[in-house]
Amino acid sequence: MAESEGPRSRAMSIRKRLSTFHRRSKVASSKNTILKQGRGTSQVVTDDPTMPIEEKVAIIGIGCRYADGIDSVYDFWDMLARGLDCTTPPPPERFDASHYLYPGNKLPGKMYNLTAGYLKQHPEHFDRQFFKISPEEASHLDPQVRLLLEVVWESLEDAGMPPPTIRGSNTGVYVGVTASEYGVLLSMPNSNINQYTNSGTNSCMSSNRISYEYDLRGPSFTVDTACSSSLYAIHLACEAIKRGQCEMAIAGGANISLLPVTSIGFCQAGMLAPDGKCKSFDQRADGYARGEGVGAVILKPLKRALEDDDRIYAVIRGSALSNDGRTPGIANPSLDAQMSLLEKTYNVANVQTDEVVYIEAHGTGTQAGDRTEASAIGEALGLTRAHEHPPLYIGSVKSNFGHSEGAAGIAGIIKTALTLYHGQIPRVVHFSKGNEQVEWTELNMRVPTELTRWPKGAKRFAGCSSFGFGGANAHIVMEGFEQVSERMPLQRSLSRSPSHCSSEPDSGSPAILFLSATTESALKQAVSDWHKFLTDVVGNDGRYFSDVLTTAAIRRQHQEYRLCVLARSPRETAEQLRLKIEHDPRVAYNVIEGKSLSGIGTGTQRLVFVFSGMGTQWWGMARQLALDEPRFSSVIKRIDKILRKCGAKWSLLSLLTDEGDKEKIHFSDIAQPAIVATQIALSELYVTNKRKYTGFHERAKFFDAKSTKESSAMIPQIPIVSTVSGDYLGREEALTADYWWRNIRNPVLFKDAIEKLTIDGTPVFWS
């Protein structure tokens, strides 16, 4: 196995994954669900009478690797918007094409298909050091599993969820996989088999390994229904979420072709197109193209996604499964079975069939398959459409990069989600004239031949199908979700250039871009990637730039090697990065680079709030926070009431929000309570935002000074290290007058307290 720094060491392929960003926003769905958000509390209500919000599942993150370098959601949409054909000849490292490939001839033991949807990344390249896997174990790990580990990380980052924050959570993992060729390769000769072979190649490990590496405690299993495997996985994940079996789920699929044997078998069956192109629904359809890929989506209950201010690509309303039953041959489709599945699914999703605008079909590009599927879709969804309704558009991503089999269903879901997200229907590549055995006009169906805007006024309902060649069928109904913001959507349509986006003048206030990576060389790559991204994508869009900074700061995992850029605009930031790349000395004062302490950024470090004493106060401190941050203000009001009960003749809230006397804050009896109250409120605000943005669920608990010993014993305690003793402070001692007398009279043992904390582990200090 060849080792590489891989996409994770290259700062998670930042160049490819920077198309979407997160920040606190007000969001709403179209005739669906509304998040009423004040300055502090979010309340979710529903105005959709057709379905309770609890039945809806949101897609909040996407990660993928598909043919010819499609290795991010950015690339995926760019491919769709531009209508690219990503099939290529066989890579030389896979097999000897001169021996196996005989174009135009159906010969025993040979394959005739010229191209397929091959991954550009070498299957053996894996960043094992990032996942702390030994060389011996990594070499026996199925490349499908290796790529799944990487893509899951990327999908979590795309969702704005640093992976360590979900460790130990009730997160389910559902993976569709049908290929198992690596086990065959490892067992030749048998002497290659070692202690890691079985655990590295068994299909169950496609899901179980993800749960293991990310420490996830929810359901975890692998699905194999051939080409519909990953759509089955998504269906099962959504059902588990609705039933409360898991709080969140990772669902996806993988398919890598390492041996020519499967292609040879399909060639012998006459199922593959000689030119290796899927001509979905076209009269020239002559078989499908095989494809490779890995895809994953992060699924959350819609209600929780709204509460967590997640970016939402699309919403899954419902899904259903079926089988063709007895047909003339096990690989032959059934018109009746497909129509029955569609009827059942739209009943489950409670969607009127004439409201559906787009279907991402299985669409492999075979005459029999396309005819059956298009006819079933048309009769079930298109036939009864009124004249005022737009036509029913159908398409298939297989026309772009082939049929990725175990990863085909997830590819269809990703395309459908992005189609709904952008409000644009991509064209079907290689389509010129529809299959003559399909009544296109009578069935009110249309295959898009160019990037088409979603029909004006039409509801954003779409469906996605995936069929296994053994008859296992699946269909999922999805709806679009409108992101409403005081500034701008979290992601612009990638088919537009930055010049078409609104910009705003520089504010003059400096901003900080945070970058990190696992190695020095990876950090250099990150700097280069970000420079390109800011130049090519963000441009001069100041509002988009603000989202970029927010995501980089609080919705990304911070690695060991770090760099921050101080600048006032996206252009200035890009310029500073350029100077850094070129080793220009002018960058010295605006770019800070360093390495974190061991363990920092891994999710295992302890955070220590350092509360300062007298002398740090100043007039106007925390005023904006008290006025603008509801959580901060709430804590201040709570402490204000406690101080009043203790006999204070002044108001803490008034002192921080509207006090005009600049000297009052310096009186000792006012300054000390004000300082500690501000620090408590800051700590609470930090913890609240940490939970909101990264899934951190622990909430700080602070003591009421008037509490009894009995009631305080019921409150979960954050450990406190005292500068009076230089040791941990217990509840009993903290509530005694003697302790506080010593606090005033005795020397401050600050050094002793810090040493105590460092002995017990590596802390992160927050003052």
Beta strands 293-301; 314-323: pairing state? unpaired
Domain endpoint, select from 527, 562, 595: 595
In this structure, of 83-92, 542-551, 640-649, the range with the lowest mean pLDDT score is: 542-551
CA distance 419 to 522: 33
Instruction: Give the per-residue pLDDT at 127.
Output: 87
For helices 335-349 and 367-377, give the axis angle rounded to 10 degrees: 40
- Say whether both 167 and 133 belong to one domain: yes
Does residue 447 belong to any structural domain of this protein? yes
Count the neighbouring beta carbons within 10 Å of the beta carbon of residue 75: 23
DSSP classification of residue 190: G
Beta strands 314-323; 57-66: pairing state? antiparallel
Average pLDDT score over the chain: 84
CATH number for the domain that contains residue 281: 3.40.47.10
- Reported as a single tens digit per residue, the pLDDT across 172-182 is 999 999 998 88
In this structure, of 149-158, 160-169, 413-422, the range with the lowest mean pLDDT score is: 160-169
Structurally, how many domains does the chain consist of? 3
Burial of 84 from C-beta contacts in 10 A (0-12 / 13-18 / 19+)? middle
C-alpha distances in Å from residue 612, one per residue of 3, 136, 283, 722, 750: 48, 51, 76, 12, 10
C-alpha distances in Å from residue 67, one per residue of 90, 120, 362: 11, 6, 18
- Say whether both 544 and 635 belong to one domain: no
CA distance 235 to 412: 13
Q: Which two tokens stand for residue 95?
A: 């097999």
Determine the structural domain holding residue 539 and report its residue range.
Answer: 511-595
- Say whether both 81 and 227 belong to one domain: yes
CB distance 506 to 542 below 8 Å: yes
- The three-state secondary structure class of 695 is coil
- Say whether both 441 and 551 belong to one domain: no
Residue 500 pLDDT class (50, 70, 90 cuts): very low
Would you say how long the chain is, in residues?
Answer: 767
- Say whether both 118 and 198 belong to one domain: yes
- Say whether both 394 and 538 belong to one domain: no
Mean pLDDT, residues 420-442 = 96
Count the neighbouring beta carbons within 10 Å of the beta carbon of residue 63: 32
Does residue 12 belong to any structural domain of this protein? no
CATH number for the domain that contains residue 658: 3.40.366.10
CA distance 661 to 371: 81
- Say whether both 455 and 571 belong to one domain: no
CA distance 761 to 765: 12
DSSP classification of residue 217: -
CA distance 724 to 729: 9
Residues 6+ apart with CB under 8 A from 566: 510, 511, 512, 576, 590, 591, 592
CB distance 504 to 542 below 8 Å: yes
Residue 765 pLDDT class (50, 70, 90 cuts): low
- The three-state secondary structure class of 319 is strand
Domain endpoint, select from 542, 561, 595: 595
Q: Does the structure show a pLDDT above 90 at 615?
A: no
Instruction: Give the per-residue pLDDT at 415.
Output: 98
Instruction: Give the per-residue pLDDT at 605.
Output: 59
Residue appearing with tokens 């803490």: 652
Helix (H) or strand (E) holding 66: strand 57-66
- Reported as a single tens digit per residue, the pLDDT across 301-313 is 999 999 988 999 9
Burial of 599 from C-beta contacts in 10 A (0-12 / 13-18 / 19+)? middle
Does residue 642 belong to any structural domain of this protein? yes
Residue appearing with tokens 């030119």: 275
Dihedral sign for Cα atoms in the order 737, 740, 746, 752: positive
Q: Does the structure show a pLDDT above 80 at 472?
A: yes
CB distance 532 to 578 below 8 Å: no
Q: Does the structure show a pLDDT above 90 at 510?
A: no
- The three-state secondary structure class of 393 is strand
Q: Please name which of 490, 485, 489, 581 lies closest in space to residue 535, comparing C-alpha atoms.
A: 581
C-alpha distances in Å from residue 643, one per residue of 123, 672, 676, 704: 65, 12, 12, 10
CATH number for the domain that contains residue 549: 3.30.70.3290
Choice between 744 and 302, residue whose per-residue pLDDT is larger: 302
Residue 597 pLDDT class (50, 70, 90 cuts): low
- Say whether both 159 and 229 belong to one domain: yes
Q: What is the C-alpha end-to-end distance of the chain, expressed in Å?
A: 46
Q: Does the structure show a pLDDT above 90 at 237?
A: yes
- The three-state secondary structure class of 250 is strand
Does residue 550 belong to any structural domain of this protein? yes
- The structure's pTM equals 0.78
Of all residues in the chain, what percent carry a pLDDT higher than 70? 84
Q: Does the structure show a pLDDT above 70 at 619?
A: yes
Choice between 336 and 24, residue whose per-residue pLDDT is larger: 336
CA distance 751 to 91: 61
Instruction: Give the per-residue pLDDT at 764.
Output: 66
Does residue 709 belong to any structural domain of this protein? no
Residues 6+ apart with CB under 8 A from 98: none
Q: Please name which of 345, 296, 316, 159 lies closest in space to residue 238, comparing C-alpha atoms.
A: 316
Domain endpoint, select from 526, 560, 595: 595
Instruction: Give the per-residue pLDDT at 501.
Output: 38
CA Rg value for the chain:
29
CA distance 442 to 455: 20
Q: Which two tokens stand for residue 333?
A: 């489709």
Instruction: Give the per-residue pLDDT at 751.
Output: 87
Q: Which two tokens stand for residue 38?
A: 């004040």
Dihedral sign for Cα atoms in the order 281, 425, 226, 192: positive
Q: Does the structure show a pLDDT above 90 at 712?
A: no
Residue 689 pLDDT class (50, 70, 90 cuts): low
CB distance 409 to 474 below 8 Å: yes
CA distance 463 to 481: 15
- Say whether both 556 and 630 belong to one domain: no
In this structure, of 392-396, 398-402, 603-607, 650-654, the range with the lowest mean pLDDT score is: 603-607
* 187 φ/ψ sector (left φ>0, alpha ψ -120 to 50, else beta): alpha
Choice between 756 and 499, residue whose per-residue pLDDT is larger: 756
Mean pLDDT, residues 716-745 = 82
Q: Which two tokens stand for residue 228?
A: 């519909």
Q: Which two tokens stand for residue 635?
A: 């804590």
- Reported as a single tens digit per residue, the pLDDT across 247-279 is 999 999 999 999 999 999 999 999 999 999 999
Choice between 766 and 310, residue whose per-residue pLDDT is larger: 310
Does residue 46 belong to any structural domain of this protein? no
- Reported as a single tens digit per residue, the pLDDT across 198-207 is 888 899 999 9
- Say whether both 553 and 415 belong to one domain: no
CA distance 173 to 483: 27
Instruction: Give the per-residue pLDDT at 248.
Output: 97
Does residue 519 belong to any structural domain of this protein? yes
Q: Which two tokens stand for residue 280?
A: 């979905």
Instruction: Give the per-residue pLDDT at 228.
Output: 97
Instruction: Give the per-residue pLDDT at 65.
Output: 97
CA distance 561 to 375: 56
C-alpha distances in Å from residue 694, one per residue of 7, 64, 195, 218: 22, 22, 37, 19
CB distance 697 to 640 below 8 Å: no
Residue 453 pLDDT class (50, 70, 90 cuts): very high
Residue 22 pLDDT class (50, 70, 90 cuts): very low
- Say whether both 195 and 248 belong to one domain: yes
Residue 424 pLDDT class (50, 70, 90 cuts): very high
Q: Please name which of 498, 445, 453, 448 lies closest in space to residue 480, comparing C-alpha atoms.
A: 453
- Say whether both 464 and 578 belong to one domain: no
Which 3-state string (H, E, C) describes 470-486? CCEEEEEEEECCCCCCC
DSSP string of 503-530, one letter each residue: -----SS-EEEEEEESSHHHHHHHHHHH
- The three-state secondary structure class of 150 is helix
Instruction: Give the per-residue pLDDT at 142.
Output: 95
Does residue 268 belong to any structural domain of this protein? yes
CB distance 552 to 515 below 8 Å: yes
Instruction: Give the per-residue pLDDT at 750.
Output: 86
SS3 content of the chain, % helix, strand, coil (to 5): 40, 20, 45
